[in-house]
Amino acid sequence: MKNAQCKKCLNKFNQKDIYTIQQFQYRKEPNYEWSVNYFKKIGISEWDSFCEGCMLFYSKESEKEWNSKI
């Protein structure tokens, strides 16, 4: 059943396919604290749901931002 919705593209998808920014805990750089702050600034919390594509987009965007700051 497609009962989850991506906050960005608004597509519906299966609950089990939800991605959140919490997955960035496992990313070495940028560190998680930085990531949480970055997403907070653009209005995204640790509990917001995203589809895989949009999470990949934000992953790249945040890396770009991180790289421009160092």
| Contacts to Zn ion by CB under 5 A | 6, 8-9, 51, 54
Closest to Zn ion by CB, 18 or 54: 54
Q: Which helix (H) or strand (E) holds 12?
A: strand 12-13
For residue 4, the cross-strand partners are: 13
36 or 51: CB nearest Zn ion:
51
Q: Closer to Zn ion by CB, 45 or 67: give it.
A: 45
CB of 52 to Zn ion, least distance (A): 8
List, in order, residues 6 or more apart from 55 with CB less than 8 Å away.
19, 20, 21, 23
Closest distance of CB 70 from Zn ion, Å: 28
DSSP one-letter code for 13: E
